[in-house]
Amino acid sequence: MTKVLKDYETEVLEYMYRHKIENGIDEFVVTELPNQKSFNTLAREGLIYLNNSDSSMIKVRITSKGLDYMSRYSMTDRQKILKYYYDNRTQKSIFTGGLDQTLSIEHPVLLSEANYLVGKGYLEKVGKGAMSGDNFLKITATGVDLIESPDAVSKSTRDLSTISETSTASITNDVISMKIRQEIYSHISSFIDSRHYYTAVEESYKVVREKLKEITTEEAASAVFGENALNEKYWGDIFGEVPEKGTPEHDFMRGTGYMHMAVQYLRNEKSHTKAAEIDKNLALHYISLASLAYDLISRRNSAV
């Protein structure tokens, strides 16, 4: 049985697992290990293969055991629900009431995710409870196929976790889990993984400005939208239309302009001051702004 991993060990394994699943990267080459003890622990547990016979080049890759471990560890609430119904598929149906305690998922989240699975055809309703929002559910053939397919790990990750390329979010109390634009994440992920949050923020704003330039040939938001966000010259290129003043659509486009102005000046501040320590939570707020700004000008100009 694999021991419980420490935070840093888990972060290392998560990083390798994600790149294996999403990008097909099997092996990583590093010149030195930032935390030798943690890597040794992972290797001793059989979760990674570590080859440091060459002092100038260390090769690391995640093992099949490591992939199995992370597929269980990184299960989303949605995946936990479907897996539970799969494991108990011989039963006629299972009531969602009380399932929140069994799976350690908050009840509102359980109902929301279960409804999503029903909507996607992975689960089906057999009956419902009395005024509670709970239902009797069972797994469908489609749900079984999803779990049993040969590429179950990558397929379930794609189908159950990554719903859209646009920003999506789930909320539990005051914690929001948000998916940002892939174009931004792919550019800044290495900075986030290495905890260079200041650089991650600055680089996320660069991606937004580059997208604006791609659409309009102008990089600066002030040149595209004007200092008061009333310049309509590029609205047709960005949004596909120039609505009448005073309409909700016009207000939306002007609001988008102000958002890009914020990105411009926040980016200027980051570019003209020395890099400093920045709290991870604050950095993610900045990055979510960049993701939204990018998303709002991309809906007409890219597949979303």
CATH of the domain at 116: 1.10.10.10
Mean pLDDT, residues 57-79 taken together: 79
Residue finishing a domain among 21, 39, 71 = 71
Mean pLDDT, residues 129-135 taken together: 73
Residue finishing a domain among 19, 51, 71 = 71
Lowest-pLDDT range of 146-155, 178-187, 283-292:
146-155
> Does 137 score more than 90 pLDDT?
yes
- The answer to whether residues 241 and 283 belong to one domain is yes
- The answer to whether residues 32 and 129 belong to one domain is no
**CA dihedral of residues 14, 19, 299, 172 (deg, nearest 10):** -10
Mean pLDDT, residues 254-281 taken together: 78
Domain count, the chain: 3
Residue by residue, DSSP assigns the chain as -PPPPPHHHHHHHHHHHHHHHHH---EEEESS-TTHHHHHHHHHTTSEEEEEEETTEEEEEE-HHHHHHHHHHT--HHHHHHHHHHHTTTSS-EESTTHHHHHT--HHHHHHHHHHHHHTTSEEEEEE-SSSS-EEEEE-HHHHHHHHSTTHHHHHHHHHT---SS-EEEEETTEEEEEPPHHHHHHHHHHHHTT-HHHHHHHHHHHHHHHHHHHHS---HHHHH-TTS---TTHHHHHS--PPTTSHHHHHHHHHHHHHHHHHHHHHHHHTS------HHHHHHHHHHHHHHHHHHHTTTS--
Mean pLDDT, residues 244-252 taken together: 89
Residue 228 — pLDDT band, cuts 50, 70, 90?
A: confident
Sequence-distant (6+) residues with CB within 8 A of 302 are none
- The answer to whether residues 153 and 246 belong to one domain is no
Residue 233 — pLDDT band, cuts 50, 70, 90?
A: very high
Lowest-pLDDT range of 154-163, 256-265, 270-279:
154-163
- The answer to whether residues 59 and 91 belong to one domain is no
Per residue in 26-48, is it b (16+ CB within 10 Å) or e — as a string? eebeeeeeeeeebbebbbebebb
Residue 236 within any structural domain of the chain: yes
- The answer to whether residues 120 and 100 belong to one domain is yes
> Does 292 score more than 60 pLDDT?
yes
Residue 18 within any structural domain of the chain: yes
- The answer to whether residues 52 and 111 belong to one domain is no
Structure confidence by residue, pLDDT tens digits, 78-118: 888 888 998 898 888 999 988 988 888 888 888 888 888 88
Residue 1 within any structural domain of the chain: no
Q: What is the pTM of this model?
A: 0.45
State the Cα–Cα distance between residues 126 and 123, nearest whole angstrom. Answer: 10
Residue 303 within any structural domain of the chain: no
Residue finishing a domain among 71, 91, 108 = 71
- What range does the domain containing 252 cover? 182-298
- The answer to whether residues 291 and 188 belong to one domain is yes
Mean pLDDT, residues 195-219 taken together: 90
Residue 171 within any structural domain of the chain: no
- The answer to whether residues 246 and 229 belong to one domain is yes
Residue 270 — pLDDT band, cuts 50, 70, 90?
A: low
- The answer to whether residues 204 and 294 belong to one domain is yes
- The answer to whether residues 188 and 271 belong to one domain is yes
> Does 51 score more than 70 pLDDT?
yes
Phi, psi of 229 (to 5 degrees): 60, 30
- The answer to whether residues 194 and 294 belong to one domain is yes
Residue 2 within any structural domain of the chain: no
> Does 299 score more than 80 pLDDT?
no
The overall average pLDDT reported for the chain is: 79
**CA dihedral of residues 18, 19, 20, 25 (deg, nearest 10):** -170
Residue 227 within any structural domain of the chain: yes
Residue 172 within any structural domain of the chain: no
- The answer to whether residues 64 and 79 belong to one domain is no
Mean pLDDT, residues 236-245 taken together: 89
State the Cα–Cα distance between residues 149 and 82, nearest whole angstrom. Answer: 14
Separation in Å, CA 57 to CA 31, 50, 54, 97: 5, 11, 5, 54
